[in-house]
């Protein structure tokens, strides 16, 4: 039986992490991130990272990205797309995502090495302060289907 949670999704569960590893992805992996930000960042759990004055969730996420990029790139990854979101054209009414981000990592092992790096983890409080809800979908690239040729008349 699958249990669906209606609450915010802020990080992987032990079960989802295990499923990710068990997929046995060989080669590059792309991470599709959908993010919804808090109106005002909440640094309650990370007061050591809090700025002097309140900032928006979007600004806190910018702090997270600035902190994260060097570690991501050192591990063989990079942000390949960053875009403003909004409501869906096809999807649930009233559901919106503020930001979509696509991150390419050279391998699952490189991704795991990146996420467990102590210096990277020191800045995770910016993400926690910023994000109200999120989705992270690991993707593997597929070739485009071959085009069929129609006979000339």
Label the pairing between strands 96-105 and 29-37.
Answer: antiparallel
Q: How confident is the model over 2-29, as a mean pLDDT?
A: 73
In a domain, 14, yes or no: no
Does residue 50 have a pLDDT over 60? yes
Looking at the domain assignment, is residue 123 inside a domain?
yes
| Better pLDDT: 139 or 151 | 139
Q: Look at residue 6 and tell me whether its pLDDT is greater than 60.
A: no
144 lies in some domain: no
- 53-76 confidence digits (pLDDT tens): 999 999 999 999 999 999 999 999
3-state secondary structure of 130: helix
Q: Contact, 38 vs 127, CB < 8 A?
A: no
Q: Please state the domain count of the chain.
A: 1
Lowest-confidence region among 8-12, 14-18, 56-60, 76-80? 8-12
Range of the domain at 70: 27-138
For residue 3, pLDDT over 50 is answered with no
Indicate the pTM of the whole model. 0.83
As a whole number of angstroms, the distance between CA 95 and CA 133 comes to 11
Burial class of residue 125 (count of CB atoms within 10 Å of its CB; 0-12, 13-18, 19+): buried
- 130 within a domain of the structure (yes/no): yes
Domain-located, residue 148: no
CATH number assigned to the domain comprising residue 47: 3.30.70.100
């Amino acid at each position: 039986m699958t249990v669906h949670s209606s609450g915010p999704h802020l990080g992987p569960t032990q079960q989802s992490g295990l499923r990710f590893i068990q997929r046995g992805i060989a080669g590059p992996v792309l991470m599709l991130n959908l993010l919804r930000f808090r109106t005002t960042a909440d640094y309650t759990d990370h007061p050591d990272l809090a700025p002097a004055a309140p900032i928006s969730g979007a600004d806190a996420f910018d702090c997270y990205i600035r902190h994260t990029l060097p570690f991501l790139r050192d591990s063989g990854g990079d942000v390949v797309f960053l875009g403003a979101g909004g409501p869906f054209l096809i999807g649930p009414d009233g559901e919106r995502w503020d930001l979509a981000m696509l991150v390419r990592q050279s391998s699952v092992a490189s991704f795991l090495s990146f996420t467990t790096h102590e210096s990277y983890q020191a800045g995770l409080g910016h993400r926690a302060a910023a994000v109200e809800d999120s989705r992270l979908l690991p993707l593997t690239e597929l070739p485009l289907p071959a085009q069929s040729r129609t006979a000339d008349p």
